[in-house]
Amino acid sequence: MSDSTLTGQAAEIRDEFLDLDLSSRLELLLEFSNELPALPERLADHPELLERVAECQAPVFIVVEVDDGLVTMFAQAPPEAPTTRGFASILAQTLNGLTVDEALALPDDYPQMLGLSKAVSPLRLNGMSGMLQRAKRQLRARVGR
């Protein structure tokens, strides 16, 4: 069941989902959505610094920063879209604290590994994939790769 290519927090979060039955996975997704922190003031006051994730129907914005070689992702997603907000929270918790190389090595199909394909629509899963791809693109741009 486990995918050996995942390590660290990504593997922990994937296992947390796979340990649950389908309906409980949705509750866990909701718990993640409640854990997405508000944007820090310096970003909240400058929305132009964030990138809209066009793959999400809901208005979701992300920005990825690199400080001392470690990645931090910030995201804003409305509470009215808990699934999408949950995905943003998962991605932020997965990426935060990784090195750039570790973050870029996160498989593109990570969203599909969480066992949610029977619980949420493909459109929403695609939204999370879009978030991940945009986060990686921002990272590459920041480190000049």
Partner 1 sequence: MTEADADAPVIARGTGLTEIVPATASRCTGRTADSKKWVSERYRPQADRWLALNMISSINGSATGPDGTSETLSNRTDRMILGVIRDHADAVLVGAGSVRAEGYVMPKTAVLAVVTRSGSLAGHKLGDDYDAERLVVLYPAGNEEQVLANLGDLPCRRLAMPGNDPGPAEIVETLAANGYPSVVCEGGPSLAGQFIRAGQVDAVYLSVAPTFVLPARPLIGGDDEFQRWFTLDGLLVDDDGNTYHRLRPDTQDRTAA
Contacting partner 1 within 124-143 (CB under 8 A): none
| Structure token pair of residue 139 | 């990272």
Which regions of 3-78 does DSSP assign to beta strands (E)?
A: 51-52, 61-67, 70-76
d(CA 98, CA 69): 8
**Burial of 79: CB neighbours in 10 Å, binned 0-12, 13-18, 19+:** exposed
Closest CA to 84 of 38, 108, 120, 114: 120
Nearer to partner 1, 16 or 102 (CB): 16
Nearer to partner 1, 27 or 108 (CB): 27
Nearer to partner 1, 35 or 108 (CB): 35
| Cβ neighbours of 3 (radius 10 Å) | 13
- Interface segment toward partner 1; rule CB under 8 A; list 20-28, 45-53, 55-63, 125-133: 20-28
Query: Does 102 help bind partner 1 (rule: CB under 8 A)?
Result: no
Nearer to partner 1, 96 or 112 (CB): 96
Query: Does 3 help bind partner 1 (rule: CB under 8 A)?
Result: no
The residues that touch partner 1, with contacts defined as CB under 8 A, are: 8-9, 12, 15-16, 18-21, 23-24, 27-28, 31, 35, 37, 92-93, 96-97
